[in-house]
Amino acid sequence: MTKNDAPAATSSSASPNTVTKVVQGSPSAPDWTATASAVSDSVVAITVRMGTGGGQGSGVVVDTNGNIVTNDHVVADAVSGGQLTVSTGNRTYEATVVGTDPSTDLAVIRVKNPPTSMKPINFADSSTLTVGSPVMAVGNPLGLSGSVTTGIISALNRPVTTSNRHSPRDLQGSRDSSSGVVVTNAIQTSAAINPGNSGGALINANGELIGINSSIASLSSSRSESSGNIGIGFAIPSNLAKSISDQIIDTGKATHAFLGISVRDAAASKDGVQVLGAGIATVSPRSPADEGGLQRGDVITKIDDTDIASGESLVGLVRSFKPGQKVKISYIRGSQEATADVTLGTARS
């Protein structure tokens, strides 16, 4: 599996008057022509030049101040001194990096003197998504700006692990955040996503953003530049993208929720049935997990209403919450099921 390619404060909330909305007559047979037209000025092509090399990706306009959300791995070289430009239509503009959040593979860049033609996209509530719903991916695959593909939501809360650096091999399977990986409970889609789509928009039929395209599955063991779509793409849910981008725009950085445990894949017995979950390997003293009564050996099976089937699933889900948020954790200890009310802390940066 591979990724697709390559601090002043302003609010990211778009004015309702600047967002184009699409009202579909038939949800089961949407007019994708209208949808594509509505978002054409909300998705941009991003180019980073570094020495004799560089890379391309996509981005999504979030406000009228020139702020654009994209993937961290798309603009990683710009942070290291590369030249960053944004293209929309037949115009190209200089841009700067506002801030990055490698742990979620998200970043915000800002266009200098943004044109009025750049329209903010409307964010949908990704917590209401359902499997089977039609979607469209919009971006800059292989340098072909303004490309659109359609498909459906294939799965939700799919744990996906990627490197947080701009490297050719990304989905390695590790869940040690200290080693430089990203774990996301992603939206899986059948819409064709290829190198260059990274940072682009996954939208619903109404033209609302439901996710930021971030990675693809590949059967090829070759470099990501030569691998392409096999019908399994992943996107970072819009609720997480909005939370992180808002924080970066406001403060230049993002904070993350902290539970205070290390985990592994595990299973526990409940009523004679094996239940998959996240087994607690260690609990940090005085952490939210410790104060909530969780112990080493407990197998976490659910947070609020979301099932947990692996250690990666739990890591990705915790990262989707905000510090200070209260959650109900369901777990099995021995053969007994119990719950713990936990107030999440703030992870150290």
Q: Which of 161, 162, 159 is nearest to 170 (CA)?
A: 162
- Phi, psi for 71 (deg, rounded to 5): -90, 145
Instruction: Give, for 211, the enclosing helix (H) or strand (E).
Output: strand 208-216
Complete DSSP assignment for 52-73 = TEEEEEEEEE-STTSEEEE-HH
Residue 232's SS3 state is coil
Cα 48 from Cα 8, distance rounded (Å)? 22
Instruction: Give, for 184, the enclosing helix (H) or strand (E).
Output: strand 181-189
Cα 61 from Cα 40, distance rounded (Å)? 11
Say how many C-beta atoms besides its own lie within 10 A of residue 275's C-beta. Answer: 18
Considering the candidates 42, 72, 73, 262, report the single residue annotated as catalytic: 73
Q: Judge whether 105 counts as a catalytic residue.
A: yes
Q: Which of 275, 311, 274, 280 is nearest to 295 (CA)?
A: 280
Say how many C-beta atoms besides its own lie within 10 A of residue 273's C-beta. Answer: 8
Considering the candidates 105, 170, 246, 298, report the single residue annotated as catalytic: 105
Q: Judge whether 73 counts as a catalytic residue.
A: yes
Partners of 95 in the beta sheet? 111
Considering the candidates 12, 103, 198, 310, report the single residue annotated as catalytic: 198
- Residues designated as active site: 73, 105, 198
